[in-house]
Structure 1
Amino acid sequence: MEQHYEAPEGVDVRGRYDSQFARILSRDALQFVANLQREFRGQIRHAMECRCVAQRRYDAGALPGFDTATRFIREGDWVCAPVPPAIANRMVEITGPVERKMVINALNSGAMVFMADFEDALSPSWENLMRGQVNLRDAVNGSIIFEDIERKRTYRLNEKTAKLFVRPRGWHLPEAHILIDGEPATGCLVDFGLYFFHNHAAFRGTQGQGYGPFFYLPKMEHSREARIWNSVFDRAEKLVSIPVGSIRATVLIETLPAAFQMDEILYELRTHSAGLNCGRWDYIFSYVKTLRAHPDRLLPDRVAVGMTQHFMRSYSDLLVRTCHRRRAHAMGGMAAQIPIRNDPAANAAALEAVRRDKMREVRAGHDGTWAAHPGLIADIAEVFTAGLAGRDNLIEAVPREDAEGIGEEDLLQRPRGKRTMEGLRLNTRVGIQYLAAWLAGTGSVPLYNLMEDAATAEISRVQNWQWIRYKAILDGEEVMVAVTPELFARVVEEEMARIEKEVGAEKFRGGAYREACAIFVRQCTAAELDDFLTVDAYKKIVIHHPKAASLL
């Protein structure tokens, strides 16, 4: 007998049928998602069109800046809703994909928060997305177990676990396996809607307003996008009859335009706000993407674009000042390092670099920070425990006077540093290997002692594109070398050979390396820079199963 999802009118599920998925994709849950899609798709479409309009201005020579029309918001005395006691202390947060073992280990890691990621750390295949929803449902109700057959080990939740935040996809990504009124659903509304519908009741308790669920919101470029999210939250709370403000969300400031909209974004979400976060890897990517038509904005090697760059430090300081003025959390950025198990000296140096970075963050006033690996949590917690000095956060601390007066020029200052052949090679090697893993179903990949996700791969892609487009001159060469398509083609050939040697010929032949290479090269050499690498690559992982669709 043919099995299919029981979908409401106007909803067509084209993903593979699975009995576990069917419990997530119930008629009522799909109706909930469809209601959100139908109510907000017009606003979402308008917001995406506004992004394009703004980008055309930047391409014509304009620069992002503070909006004079919303000066009254920036100068007003309003504050966000009080910080919920359940998430007052967020000094160490760990992030990772919604894979079952990862969910258990992250919740058990000793971090205060685990951000379960449907976005940059996840390859959004149908299987990954739906299994992720199953995993989070089981985590929320406490029944999640993972049996590791090879290691003969069973993973379960500890009695004390991290608070769970969920990051849905950005507004720009579709969900091609669920059609609503004949159109692909908005990916973030699918991620948010299914998780919220099945799990909101478990967060009711004694915490009062702001008891959850909790979310992270990615990739915004303007406060109008925050306004949509706030309306989505209001509607979701109303549909299931829970108090307004139960949902709380932290917004990642990870695009250059959003850096000029921090007050406005907090203002739109003030009833549901849980602060802002420095999504610094995506922010670097956005700097290039936004200013792609400005040849005077060439970045140095990726490894040189750290928080000591003036434009990055200014962005961090402005975020802290803005959040604390509005009585909200100011979260720091990701430590992407992972333990180096076969080299104690290199591992010690990497940990020391993490400690220095986190010391800088807590001294800047950040209330907490991110780690990509459980092995970093103890060291980061030690730094932040000392910096917080017995407090849950630094929201009420005396603000730094030197963070006053950050202007447009500070946020836009040209980055400094060298552009080298090794930088071009590393970008190419990392970009191709990450994309190969992503096409094969893995969205968080350890490469060269760092945890790479879509954000870091995007830096590799857009930096290569920028250097090729403007024929950047490489430093450190005996003769003048410009980055041309011909040079890039040679680098790609040599780096593919190196990748094959590093991973082994059998794995290389069986992997998606050549397909990934073709996509990456096309993106790096395109006449016009695509907004997102994953939008192009997503088409490669969509698999429709028409027979699994509901019989309407």
Structure 2
Amino acid sequence: MQQTAERPSTAASSSLEIKANPITGQERVLTEGACALLQALCQEFAAEVDTLLARRKQRQQSIDAGALPDFLPDTQSIRDSDWKIRGIPKDLLDRRVEITGPVDRKMIINALNAGVKVFMADFEDSLAPSWEKLIQGQVNLQDAVRGEIEYTAPETGKHYQLCDDPAVLVARVRGLHLPEEHLLFNGKPIPGCLFDFSMYFFHNYRQLLAKGSGPYFYIPKLESHLEARWWAKVFAFVEERLCLQPGTIKCTCLIETLPAVFEMDEILYELRSNIVALNCGRWDYIFSYIKTLKNHADRVLPDRQQVGMDKPFLSAYSRLLIKTCHKRGALAMGGMAAFIPAKDPEVNAKVLERVRADKELEARNGHDGTWIAHPGLAQIALEIFDDYIGKERPNQLHITRDVDAPILAAELLAPCDGSRTEEGMRLNIRIALQYIEAWIGGNGCVPIYGLMEDAATAEISRTSIWQWIRHGKSLSNGKLVTKELFCNMLTEELAAVKKEVGEQRFTHGRFIQAASLLEEITTADELVDFLTLPGYRLLTA
């Protein structure tokens, strides 16, 4: 990225500085009004993000020293008292199947046309946040909200446009930990989430409200109710500034970190004016389990492929989320089916069988809806949730799970059985290697070996190996997992990937840089919190 002082005349604030060359569409996004809102949000709330991130580190230090996460004694009264969220808009009451994906133009059209209830347009784990991708994504969503989005594929001439009844649009912003290096406020990079939120909200809230919907958001990576309180203040500030009724902005929070699962009641309470649902972000949750308990040798996970929702610690997480949400009048969303339909009928039958088992478990537990990553899975997911919910009901809020025994911290932290295999370790390396290569090249949503991978699954792949090295674990064949073993395997798997993708793709790609970054973060003495942070340096270089 070239650093430049140039910026459009519409962004006239002396405190907000754009550090990127102007690109097509920027004038539609960085308007005077949008930048004024962003500046006001940065002035009021940006500094507190540093405080919240510092608090994360302090809690992690305690866990690293031997403590285990638990429910908070100071907020027992919130968990025990009788209260409910403000309410759920009509167009968010039925969310039985949601599709997710990045904000690419063609993908937005296909997702909105997929026949599902909701499309989550993702500025987070499935987007590599280059300046061009961010601006184009905001422009694409403006066009989608206005019903004007169209796309013609240059290679085939095929034309894409919206159907008459598209899915409800929800935007996922970036997590608190991710900065936006292209925009400085008083000389410092702003929180990426404030950019994503303010640009989508400002340009679309009038049109969304006019057609009976509203400004809806997914909030990722929360680790505490204090972070939820920060978001509640952001929403209230914007609603008051724009003279909107309190609760106009609606959000769904992903419970995808281990600390957050112990504060679900409190998160719902802090955001009770705006929140409508919690979501089981299962892949990030597994990643967070590894990261949070990284120093606890008795809680090392096996091969990623063996860690399914039937494992006790994940089953407890799902059931507690449902019970908590329904007690408070909020929807409880299930997790992602990352499978991609296969062209081979026999292989595809096995894919659909696994998707069916996963979605039936979620529906049977009482989830109100689920996630898919590919339109080809919409029909089977809808059929399953139609069977369990019934077409006459919008959701399963009537399933309270009141008769369940209390779910204790020990269940949420239970060690996971399974084996660590050489095949699993090598697969982790190939997945992480290919995903990182794609991400630093600008693509955050990548089909790899029949799965739609995003940052969360790559995080599991590399942190699993780090944890095995950290605690001197052995593979099922007796090999001790060491830095040396990993580096040898990385060299071999890099050669295997080169053979898979071909000489030309490998030569013109960034696989060597990806391998270097993967080695750096996997062999580091201290676990790197997010691969997207060092990856961002390569993305913006």
Do the structures match in fold with TM over 0.5? Answer: yes
Are residues 1:48 and 2:53 paired? yes
Cα drift, residue 395 of structure 1: 4.3
- Alignment partners' CA distance in 2, 1:149 and 1:390: 40
- Counterpart amino acid of residue 347 in structure 1: N
Is the 8 Å Cα contact of residues 279 and 333 (structure 1) preserved in structure 2? yes
Pick from 1, 4, 7: which aligns with 1:4? 7
Deviation at 1:400, TM superposition (A): 2.9
**CA–CA separation in structure 1 for the residues paired with 2:408 and 2:382:** 32
User: Secondary structure of the residue that 1:333 maps to in structure 2?
Assistant: strand
Alignment of 1:159-198 (within 5 A): 159-198=164-203
Match of 1:501 in 2: 499
Superposed counterparts of 1:516-531, under 5 Å? 516-531=514-529
CA distance in 1, matches of 2:533, 2:394: 37
Identity fraction in percent: 48
> Contact 2:6–2:21 (CA<8 Å) still a contact in 1?
no
Distance 1:312 1:400 in 2: 17
1: CA distance, partners of 2:496 / 2:380: 34
2 CA distance for matches of 1:344 and 1:381? 21
Q: Where do residues 85-484 of structure 1 align in structure 2 (5 Å cutoff)?
A: 85-205=90-210, 207=212, 211-341=213-343, 343-401=344-402, 403-475=404-476, 477=477, 480-484=478-482
User: How much has 1:68 moved relative to structure 2?
Assistant: 0.3
- Computed over aligned residues only, the root mean square deviation of the Cα atoms, in angstroms, reads 1.2
How far apart, CA to CA, are the structure 1 residues paired with 2:392 and 2:458? 37
Check conservation: 1:222, 1:257, Cα contact below 8 A: yes
Task: Find the aligned partners of 2:88 and 2:145 in 1 and give their Cα distance.
Answer: 22
Whether contact under 8 Å (2:23, 2:132) holds in the other structure is no
Determine if contact 2:123/2:173 at 8 Å carries over to the other structure: yes
Q: Which residue pairs with 2:72 in the alignment? A: 67
Q: CA deviation at 1:199?
A: 0.5
How far residue 3 of structure 1 moved from its aligned partner, in angstroms, is 6.9
Alignment partner of 1:38: what SS?
helix
Separation in 1, partners of 2:362, 2:341: 21
Q: Following TM superposition, by how much is the alpha carbon of 1:151 offset from its aligned partner in structure 2, in angstroms?
A: 1.4
Measure how far apart 1:394 and its partner are: 3.9
CA distance 1:3–1:187, shift in 2 (3 Å): closer
Q: Distance in 2 between matches of 1:47 and 1:255?
A: 15
Matched with 1:547 is none
Q: How far is 1:354 from its partner? A: 0.3
The code of the aligned residue for 2:32 comes to R
Asked if the contact 1:301–1:419 (Cα under 8 Å) also holds between the matched residues in 2, the reply is: yes
Q: Tell me how far 1:486 sits from its aligned partner.
A: 1.4
- Cα deviation, residue 493, structure 1: 1.1
Q: Is the 8 A contact 1:317 1:403 kept in 2?
A: no
CA offsets, 1:251-304, max 9 Å, x none? 000000000000000001111011100000000000010011111111000000
Residue 393 of structure 1 and its aligned partner are, at CA, apart by 3.8
Secondary structure of 1:377's counterpart equals helix
Which deviates the most, 392-401 or 99-108? Answer: 392-401
SS in 2 for 1:385: helix
- What TM-score does the superposition give when structure 2 sets the normalisation length? 0.97
Counterpart Cα distance in 2 of 1:304 and 1:389: 32
**Shift of the alpha carbon at 1:205?**
3.9
Cα 1:391–1:410, aligned 2, differ >3 Å: closer, same or farther?
A: farther
Amino acid at match of 2:334: G
Q: Deviations over 1:318-365 (max 9, x none)?
A: 000000000110000000000111x21111111111011100001000
After superposition, the C-alpha distances for 1:498-543 in whole angstroms (9 at most, x for unaligned) are 1000000111011010000000111000000011000011011225
Report the alpha carbon displacement of residue 206 of structure 1 after superposing the two structures with TM. 7.4
1:256/1:527 Cα in 2 relative to 1: closer, same or farther (>3 Å)?
A: same
Q: Aligned pair in 2 of structure 1 residues 206, 519: CA closer, same or farther (>3 Å)? A: closer
Q: How far apart are residue 243 of structure 1 and its match?
A: 1.1
Identify if the C-alpha distance between structure 1 residues 395 and 83 changes in structure 2 by more than 3 Å, giving closer, same or farther: farther
Q: Distance in 1 between matches of 2:6 and 2:460?
A: 43
Partner-residue secondary structure (3-state), 2:418: coil
Gaps of 5+ in 2: none
Distance in 1 of aligned mates of 2:6 and 2:456 = 38
The structure with higher relative contact order (CA 8 Å, sep 6+) is: 1
User: Aligned with 2:276: secondary structure?
Assistant: strand
- Cα separation, 1, equivalents of 2:190 and 2:26: 17
Shift of 1:398: 3.8
Deviations 1:92-141 (A, max 9, x none): 00000000000111001101000000000000111111100000001011
In structure 2, relative to structure 1, the CA distance for the partners of 1:4 and 1:206 (3 Å cut) is closer
Q: Compute the TM-score of the two structures, normalised by the length of structure 1.
A: 0.95
Give the aligned residue type for 1:523.
Answer: I
Query: How far, CA to CA, are the matches of 1:391 and 1:223 in structure 2?
Result: 35
1:542 aligns with 2:540: yes
Rounded Cα–Cα distance in structure 2 between residues aligned with 1:253 and 1:239: 29
Instruction: Please name the residue that 1:546 is paired with.
Output: none
Tell me, in whole angstroms, the C-alpha distance in 1 between the residues paired with 2:431 and 2:211: 47
Amino acid at match of 1:303: Q
Change (3 A) 1:357 1:441: same
Does the C-alpha gap of structure 1 residues 40 and 3 become closer, same or farther in structure 2, counting only changes over 3 Å?
Answer: closer
What are the Cα deviations for residues 413-451 of structure 1, in whole angstroms up to 9, with x where unaligned?
A: 001101100111011000010000001110000000000
Per-residue deviation at 1:19? 4.2
How far residue 396 of structure 1 moved from its aligned partner, in angstroms, is 3.6
Does the 8 Å CA contact 1:337/1:373 hold for their aligned counterparts? yes
In the alignment, the residues of structure 2 paired with residue 213 and residue 29 of structure 1 have an alpha-carbon distance, to the nearest angstrom, of: 15
Task: From the superposition, tell whether residues 495 and 203 of structure 1 become closer, same or farther in structure 2 (CA, over 3 Å).
Answer: same
Displacement of 1:150: 1.4
Alpha-carbon distance in structure 2 between the residues aligned to 1:228 and 1:530: 25
Could you tell me how far 1:9 is from its partner in structure 2?
Answer: 1.7
What do residues 60-115 of structure 1 show as CA deviations (whole Å, max 9, x unaligned)?
00010000000000011000112211111000000000000001110011010000
Cα shift at 1:43: 2.0
Which residue number corresponds to residue 550 of structure 1? none
How big is the shift at 1:149?
2.0
